[in-house]
């Protein structure tokens, strides 16, 4: 029963993220940019990213062997980036960008498109890998991609998430969304702008640890002779 459920869950989310990646590519190909990408991907993005919360429940119930704390932190950070930043200040993040450098006529920048590219490609491979495991066969190329692409996608994705925060903070500071001040019935005040700074501070020690954890996992899974690794594809956790 659990096997059938997990196969369905992971296949559905792999397909959902593939659809988001298609929408991003199709919009950019047809001349659209961040605002248009936001409008086209908003609903499927919210559905797919929110559905990831089930992974925490899977860990708690023992449906999967993923460690609860790591799973919780990863899902929570995505929830905050989407619901606490992008959806709180959509006008700021869907039109803004952080320019890095220019080569000829091409300007490299971090924006909503780079964020969705990293998220969707990562999740296609991750959920596709889990679905293949539940189906009983993991092709070695998929195994390799699952444990290799994060080397670039993870720091690029985090940098894109922090860019969203950077773009949203002026709006959050000015409008103070999700904040409430005293006096009130519960005699408690909350400033979301300050909370965002505290959340950013939590990224500093947490992100390197998660990154090096994934590097250790990659060495454990792929740091074997190629033939051995191929035979171990079905056994990898």
Q: Which of 55, 127, 130, 161 is catalytic?
A: 161
Q: Which of 140, 154, 166, 193 is catalytic?
A: 154
Q: Where are the domains of the chain?
A: 2-231
What's the angle, vertex CA 142, arms to CA 140 and CA 146, rounded to 5?
Answer: 115
**What is the pTM for the complete model shown?**
0.88
Q: Where are the beta strands (DSSP E) in the chain?
A: 98-103, 106-110
What local confidence, expressed as pLDDT, does residue 232 receive? 45
Q: How far is CA 169 from CA 40, 83, 116, 127, 163, in A?
A: 24, 14, 20, 32, 10
What local confidence, expressed as pLDDT, does residue 157 receive? 94
Where the chain has pLDDT below 50, the residues are: 225-229, 232, 237
- Specify the long-range contacts of residues 54-62, CB closer than 8 Å, at least 24 apart: 54/9, 58/6
Taking alpha carbons only, the member of 166, 23, 17, 4 closest to residue 89 is 166
pLDDT tens-digit map of 37-53: 999 999 999 999 999 99
What local confidence, expressed as pLDDT, does residue 228 receive? 43
pLDDT tens-digit map of 75-111: 999 999 999 999 999 999 988 999 988 888 778 899 9
Catalytic status, residue 161: yes
Tally of CB atoms within 10 A around 58: 19
What local confidence, expressed as pLDDT, does residue 131 receive? 96
């Amino acid at each position: 029963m659990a096997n059938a459920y997990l196969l369905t869950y992971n296949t559905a989310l792999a397909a959902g993220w593939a659809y988001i990646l298609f929408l991003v590519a199709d919009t950019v190909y047809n001349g659209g940019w961040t605002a248009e990408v936001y409008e086209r991907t908003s609903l499927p993005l919210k559905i797919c990213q929110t559905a990831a919360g089930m992974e925490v429940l899977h860990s708690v119930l023992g449906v999967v062997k993923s460690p609860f704390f790591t799973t919780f932190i990863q899902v929570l950070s995505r929830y905050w980036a989407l619901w606490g930043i992008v959806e709180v200040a959509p006008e700021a993040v869907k039109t803004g960008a952080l320019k890095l450098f220019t080569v000829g006529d091409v300007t490299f920048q971090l924006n909503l498109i780079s964020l969705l590219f990293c998220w969707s490609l990562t999740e296609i491979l991750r959920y596709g890998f889990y679905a293949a495991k539940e189906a009983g066969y993991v092709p070695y190329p998929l195994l390799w991609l699952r444990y290799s692409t994060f080397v670039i996608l993870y720091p690029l994705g985090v940098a894109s998430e922090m860019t969203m925060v950077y773009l949203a903070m002026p709006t959050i500071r000015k409008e103070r969304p999700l904040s409430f001040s005293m006096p009130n019935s519960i005699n408690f005040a909350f400033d979301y702008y300050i909370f965002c700074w505290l959340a950013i501070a939590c990224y500093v020690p947490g992100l390197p640890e998660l990154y090096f954890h994934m590097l250790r996992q990659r060495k454990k899974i792929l740091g074997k002779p190629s033939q051995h690794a191929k035979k171990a594809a079905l056994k990898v956790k």
